[in-house]
Structure 1
Amino acid sequence: MRRRRTIYHNDARHSYLWYFEPPMHLEDAWIPIDEVAGTAVDTFSYCVERGDGVFYPTKVGKMFSVEDGKPQSKHNYEWRAAACMLSLMERGLDPMQVLIDRAYEHGIDFFADLRLQRLGRMYPESELENGGGGWAEERVRDLKFDISRELVMDYPIQGLELDFTAAFGDGPHFYFKDGGTPENTATMTEWVRRVSEMTRSRSGAPCEIGARIFPTERGNLEQGLDVRTWLSEGLLDFVVPVAYVYTVLDPNMPFDWVVEPAHESGASVYGFLQHYLQDNNVGAKGRLFAGLEEFRAASANFWEKGVDGLCTWSLDWPLGDVERNLLSNMGSPELVRGRDKRYVVSRKDDIAAMVDYRHHIPHELSPPLPTAAHKIPFTIADDIGGDDSRVSETTLRIYLTNVVSADRFNMDLNGQSLAGEPMRRVWKKGRDAYPFTNPRNHYLEFALVDIVPRKGENLLEISLESRPDGLTGNVVIEEVEVEVRYSPYPEGL
């Protein structure tokens, strides 16, 4: 049965166990729950393992950085995490149960998020990167089943989240050497079927089962993940489309394909809001957290796609008023409707492209001239041109590098030329992130009046028509964004 949820995910490390010194005080152990309590968050997702040991006292695997009952690591933060967990256990406290109990005190549901690719130091010879068979080996599938069963049967969690997307490696496949062959796909579906049956067999309070999946259907199928079959058989209660390695907020994430089959099966879809606006993996020189207007834009787009709730994680820590405000605005579509937004088109990343998660910028406009028009699709949730619209300003910004004022472009929005719209060239100053920034380059900033983006899918087309004599290099489209500003008053006299 579909259910509205606002989910905050904690990976147990970067904003928790890495930071505290042993012995761990209960007040510190409660922080992941306490810092989101009182916002729109009603579900807490907790990463129970990184891939090299679990963050709770397991009976079937190995604990993270613990050897012979003692913390063991060459890194201070890993040693600290293990020592903190052990210090709670020495007092008769289960580190994960402490979080579960605290969540229930605040009326927050607890989901255990289980990463599936890596084997928690159990069978290193079976890892694909070490020449093993990965999930083609029965003992690998049995290990992950046993950990799933331990989580469901030994802890009063309200959801098990099978995380297929926190996957790494140099090769194109994460679970099977030869990827999504029919045999491998059937093997993975049978495993999901087995875990689903086990989860739903728990007596007492029910436990939901869901999966983190890659954004595109092709990206899943290439890994042997037949999400449509899982949904049609009713094996899942929810799905969360996301690419773990792509940490930039993407308001155009292409997960539309999964919404209808999920809803037809009674399963929920939760949109995932990544936390960065800029990151090294997309060519930025540093990291910049997304702000409220960017979160509103992505949230609004996801609500329009038909999601049943939203999820985010790893906001700037420790969480303060800014971050709690973000979490409070995620609770429903009404909270972002009619509010200022900034839709930022996300940039390419080679690792994301490995799972068929592709983007359209940066792009070089290369001679001969005129160049072919480069197409940049994007989605807008606001009805800017509607009869009762309260939108007061719509601004399109296109950041170009290796550009001079004498360059001439053709730019169309949904087939209509922008040549007649007011445009100015603005020095690139704040938020410098990408190569060749500073006043050598600039934004083309359009104040859109007669030609505005439509609600839903839009298409921006850009071509370079001419350059001044002697300037022979390429122009690069680095950034594209649409800013929508609202007024409380209607337009006109």
Structure 2
Amino acid sequence: MRYGIMLNEDDTHFFYTRNSWQRLGEAEIRAFIRQYAGTQVTDFLLCCAGRMVDYPSKVRDSWLDKYDQTEENGVPVNYRDNPVVRGAHRLFREEGLDFYAICIDELRKIGIRPWLSIRMNDCHCNDEPASFLHPRIFHEHPEYRRVTHRPPIGYFDRCFDYARPEIRQMMLDSVEETVMRYDADGLEVDWQREIFCFAIGHEWEGIALLNQFMRDVRAIVNRAAEKWGHPIAVCARTLSTPQAALDCGFDVLAWAREGLIDVLVPTPRWATTDADIPVELWKRLLEGTGVQLAPGIEILQKSTPQSRLIATTVESVSALAAQFFSFGADKVYLFNYMDAPEPEKDAMARHAFARHAEYPLSPQGYPRLLRTAGAPETAVSAERRHVVTYADVGPVWFRAEQEAALPLTAQADGSPAFVRVRTGDIPAGAAVEIRLGTAAAGGLTVYANSVPCAYLRTEPVYPEYTDNPAQVFRVENDGHLPPFLVVEILAHGQEAAIDYVEVHVLPVGCEAPDGHA
């Protein structure tokens, strides 16, 4: 099916958010899935294995093994009160239910394609001596880690090394166990958890290893398809750009050409959305392969690497979806957009924004998000906030601070500073504004695609993506705006530091703050 939302459900969320419920059984599982009926969600990806496997596994450690564990890495442990471990124990053991089998069945009943997702190199809590997220192999085989030539320093040094045949075989066994246990429509191999799969400097050698690994995955999935009697698709989640993916060992274009994948998800990692994913380049490179492109959208949004962590808004997700569809995306992919059954306990609850209708996981925002972001006609016609962000991850030599478009400085001598904003299609008659976050007191001169922009007002930015107020300028919309706005910013007499840039698109007929439509 063309267009729609691919929604990822992570491997801890359901257990974590519902373990405290007095009743937790099949009815609650089915109700959880049924909330997505009638939305634009077409594909639901159930992460069933990260560092731990969620279901009772014969090839890797599971939550149930953690429930039984009393010692780890020489440390006494008791994980029985951990909400994730306890939740899995309640369902799989006490209730005798298989969470994933029930989800798959209910998803098919409401017309959504069920997928399974495996995180290929998750390393949550890797720097702790013991954790409910640590499998035994992590402690028993430190030689399997990607950095062994020196003591581990960075967060990702303890990720597994896919140059080790033991690691590749373990993960292939996990793939086989999963697709043979559950009758799903697709399998996702999630390389964004984590991208650091080889010893430093051995990424290029890793390309051939991962190419063969993906051939083996495809062969396993094809055998599962024979068992279940229907095709099973393969999706790969990878870095935002082709070069970054290849630099880390992921030759995803070779996977596409060889027919090893059916869906590709270029995406940021976690710290922010990436508003500059080159969808038009990916589409050209994938032409003729039949592979669908589903650019990923994360839950957090930052303009600079130094910005505070705040979630997206429904309007900024709509903007990304509109932009992606305009450049040819087949679907959009939402990561970390799980429901919040008890909003007051949501991770963002300490921030007032979490109680606002623009918050995408709020009771008002979540249904609106899932009925807007999945199709060009709804996303393009919605209110949109196109916020300039940055790529948050890359190979070990990547520096986000050097690559980020912001902050930038308009010099006092009047020489222009430039920033490009991807907007995608903008309907004729829509009001378009540029917001520039700056502490500069003096006026700025702004052009969009060589056309002067009139100053409208100065106002605070909400949520607080910047501490600076925003100077707001009108963009003349003649109905023929290109899908990129190249913004020129000129200061006069004193330099102006800009740390936030947004193009705000108000739907046709929506009243803008200064009265123009």
Map of 1:328-343 to 2, 5 A cutoff? 328-343=371-386
Q: Deviations over 1:282-303 (max 9, x none)?
A: 4444524412x32222111111
1:84 & 1:15 partners in 2: Cα distance? 8
1:251–1:297 contact (8 Å) kept in structure 2: no
Which consecutive residues of structure 1, in runs of 5 or more, have no partner in the other structure? 468-473
Confirm or deny that 1:290 pairs with 2:313.
yes
Judged with a 3 Å threshold, the aligned counterparts in structure 2 of structure 1 residues 187 and 250 are, in CA distance, closer, same or farther, namely closer
1:18–1:78 contact (8 Å) kept in structure 2: no
- Aligned partner of 1:82 in structure 2 is 85
Letter in 2 for 1:404: A
1:117–1:175 contact (8 Å) kept in structure 2: no
Letter in 2 for 1:275: I
In the superposition, the TM-score normalised over structure 1's length comes to 0.82
Confirm or deny that 1:258 pairs with 2:287.
no
Map of 1:7-86 to 2, 5 A cutoff? 7-14=6-13, 16-21=15-20, 24-51=24-51, 53-64=52-63, 66-67=65-66, 69=68, 79-86=82-89
1:75 & 1:445 partners in 2: Cα distance? 55
Q: Deviations over 1:175-218 (max 9, x none)?
A: 3432432x321111011111112212321122111100101111
- Aligned partner of 2:429 in structure 1 is 390
1:25 & 1:82 partners in 2: Cα distance? 16
- Aligned partner of 1:363 in structure 2 is 408
Map of 1:184-195 to 2, 5 A cutoff? 184-195=206-217
2:117 & 2:399 partners in 1: Cα distance? 23
Deviation at 1:349, TM superposition (A): 4.5
Letter in 2 for 1:363: L
- Aligned partner of 1:487 in structure 2 is 508
Confirm or deny that 1:175 pairs with 2:198.
yes
1:348–1:360 contact (8 Å) kept in structure 2: no
Judged with a 3 Å threshold, the aligned counterparts in structure 2 of structure 1 residues 140 and 8 are, in CA distance, closer, same or farther, namely same
Judged with a 3 Å threshold, the aligned counterparts in structure 2 of structure 1 residues 266 and 443 are, in CA distance, closer, same or farther, namely same
Question: Which of 486, 496, 499 is the matching residue for 1:475?
Answer: 496
Letter in 1 for 2:49: E
1:60 & 1:250 partners in 2: Cα distance? 36
1:137 & 1:38 partners in 2: Cα distance? 45
In the superposition, the TM-score normalised over structure 2's length comes to 0.78
Q: Deviations over 1:293-319 (max 9, x none)?
A: 322221111111211112214336236
Judged with a 3 Å threshold, the aligned counterparts in structure 2 of structure 1 residues 486 and 429 are, in CA distance, closer, same or farther, namely closer
1:54 & 1:78 partners in 2: Cα distance? 18
SS of 1:230's equivalent in the other structure is helix
1:218–1:356 contact (8 Å) kept in structure 2: no
1:394–1:484 contact (8 Å) kept in structure 2: yes
Judged with a 3 Å threshold, the aligned counterparts in structure 2 of structure 1 residues 323 and 429 are, in CA distance, closer, same or farther, namely closer
Deviation at 1:244, TM superposition (A): 2.2
Letter in 2 for 1:147: S
2:268–2:391 contact (8 Å) kept in structure 1: no
- Aligned partner of 1:470 in structure 2 is none
Judged with a 3 Å threshold, the aligned counterparts in structure 2 of structure 1 residues 26 and 66 are, in CA distance, closer, same or farther, namely same
- Aligned partner of 2:192 in structure 1 is 165
1:189–1:226 contact (8 Å) kept in structure 2: yes
- Aligned partner of 1:121 in structure 2 is 135
Letter in 1 for 2:9: N
SS of 2:188's equivalent in the other structure is strand
Q: Deviations over 1:421-447 (max 9, x none)?
A: 42144143643343xx3xxx5322112
Judged with a 3 Å threshold, the aligned counterparts in structure 2 of structure 1 residues 371 and 146 are, in CA distance, closer, same or farther, namely farther
2:446–2:473 contact (8 Å) kept in structure 1: no
1:71–1:82 contact (8 Å) kept in structure 2: no
1:176–1:184 contact (8 Å) kept in structure 2: no
1:399 & 1:175 partners in 2: Cα distance? 40
Residues 134-143 or 423-432, more deviating:
423-432
Judged with a 3 Å threshold, the aligned counterparts in structure 2 of structure 1 residues 193 and 445 are, in CA distance, closer, same or farther, namely same
1:114 & 1:242 partners in 2: Cα distance? 16
1:352 & 1:184 partners in 2: Cα distance? 13
Deviation at 1:20, TM superposition (A): 1.4
Judged with a 3 Å threshold, the aligned counterparts in structure 2 of structure 1 residues 78 and 28 are, in CA distance, closer, same or farther, namely farther
Letter in 2 for 1:205: H
SS of 1:346's equivalent in the other structure is coil
2:437–2:501 contact (8 Å) kept in structure 1: yes
Deviation at 1:83, TM superposition (A): 1.9
1:350 & 1:113 partners in 2: Cα distance? 21
Map of 1:57-456 to 2, 5 A cutoff? 57-64=56-63, 66-67=65-66, 69=68, 79-90=82-93, 91-118=95-122, 121-124=135-138, 125=142, 126-129=144-147, 134-167=161-194, 173-181=196-204, 183-202=205-224, 203=226, 204-246=229-271, 248-277=272-301, 282-291=305-314, 293-315=315-337, 317-318=340-341, 320-347=363-390, 349=392, 358-365=403-410, 369-370=412-413, 373-383=416-426, 389-391=428-430, 393-401=431-439, 403-405=440-442, 409-416=444-451, 418=452, 421-428=453-460, 430-434=462-466, 437=467, 441-449=468-476, 454-456=481-483
SS of 1:42's equivalent in the other structure is strand
Deviation at 1:457, TM superposition (A): 2.3
Judged with a 3 Å threshold, the aligned counterparts in structure 2 of structure 1 residues 394 and 477 are, in CA distance, closer, same or farther, namely same
1:78 & 1:227 partners in 2: Cα distance? 41
Deviation at 1:28, TM superposition (A): 3.1
SS of 1:136's equivalent in the other structure is coil
2:391 & 2:256 partners in 1: Cα distance? 30
Letter in 2 for 1:390: G
SS of 1:123's equivalent in the other structure is helix
2:508 & 2:121 partners in 1: Cα distance? 49
Deviation at 1:476, TM superposition (A): 2.0
Deviation at 1:156, TM superposition (A): 0.3
Q: Deviations over 1:337-360 (max 9, x none)?
A: 333322221257577996687431
Q: Deviations over 1:106-127 (max 9, x none)?
A: 2322111111124862532112
SS of 2:41's equivalent in the other structure is coil
The number of aligned residues is: 456
1:129 & 1:118 partners in 2: Cα distance? 15
C-alpha RMSD over aligned residues? 3.3
2:459–2:471 contact (8 Å) kept in structure 1: no
